[in-house]
Amino acid sequence: MMPDLPEYEHFIYSLPDQLEFIKASTLIVKRTSRTSAQVVGTLYFEKELILSVLQTVDFFSRRIVDYSYEVYQGPEKLYWYDCWPHPDDPSLLSTFPHHKHVPPDLKRHRIPAENMSFEQPNLPRLTKEIEELVVTL
């Protein structure tokens, strides 16, 4: 379950202190109303890995309502996650609308995103995925 807004702000701002493989963070929580906020910014990791975050959270319903997470190594975009619906793609139905854009054609090659959710924070799973990527590069 999504935490409330003060808890989520604490979570976002303490990420670099909690996870030693995060080298720096520009993430901010921008309140857009009494009950909603956007999380925007970048997490920096070893080996020039970068996670760019844009998500909108409704804290009244305690749900992420929209997101985009992009992973780069230096200037090269490696992959990204989003929740833009593609109802005509049957290969994505298992995690609809969550999916991941992957090579060889980042724009059009999509796979199901088993680890994405509207009901709980996605950043723990994303940072773990990037931590594993750091080890393999």
108 token code pair: 């059009």
Measuring CA to CA, how many Å separate 59 from each of 4, 20, 24, 41, 82? 6, 28, 26, 19, 20
Tell me what pLDDT residue 123 has: 96
pLDDT tens across 51-61, in order? 999 999 999 99
pLDDT tens digit sequence for 26-53: 999 999 999 999 999 999 999 999 999 9
